[in-house]
Amino acid sequence: MQFESFNQILPNLFLGPRFVAEKNIENLIKIGITHILNVTKEGETPYKSQFTYKTIKIEDDLGVQISDYFDSSFEFIDSSIKNNGKVYVHCDAGISRSPTIIIYYLMKSQKKTLKEAFDFVKERRTAIRPNISFFKQLLKSEVDLFGFEKPSISEEIYAFGIFKDIFPSLSYNDFCSFYEENGRDILKTEEDILSSLIRDF
């Protein structure tokens, strides 16, 4: 189910932006939200009389180890749902941090591969785009959870999808060339792609 600005992922699990949890709580109350998982640097909990909160105070930054919070987030969501609660998970925009947490939850709770969990969430909230560092941490978690020798989706394919959104003219072959030339360093790859496109323009 899709609402004006947030989305239902499972019957008792919802994903969206920060402003809904701060300025639009009547909609959360209306659908029966009981728990809020706040994945923003500020970690504000303004309505403690209406909701049970968990906060993860992190930025959407490539240097953040969001995987340090995977298991505690899983426990919060899982115990809330098992006790007939409904959980709203948010970061600032509902695009990178909070989807990463929900994707991990689906991998662990429903035994979905990373690709299956990512596709499942993206079908319900099309704007999601975890940063490449968070995605790499999900790749590692997939190996840890399932013992895969080969991930269900490659870092290259995921990263290409991100860059394709930013640089529509970029081909997959060109992206892979940039990626390999830069030692599979995504930040150097981004700089190289941008420099190349500027030169071509």
- Across 65-74, b (16+ Cβ under 10 Å) vs e yields ebbebbeebb
Q: Which single residue is written with the structure tokens 């969430």?
A: 121
- 91 an active-site residue? yes
* Cβ atoms of 73 and 18 closer than 8 Å: no
Structure tokens at 122: 């993206």
Residues 6+ apart with CB under 8 A from 55: 37, 38, 39, 40, 43, 44, 45
Q: Which residue of the set 28, 37, 77, 91 is catalytic? A: 91
Helix count and strand count (H, E) for the chain:
9, 5
- Per-state percent for the chain, helix, strand, coil, to nearest 5: 55, 10, 35
159 within 8 A of 43, measured Cβ to Cβ: no
Distance CA 182, CA 197 (A): 16
Residues marked active site are found at 91
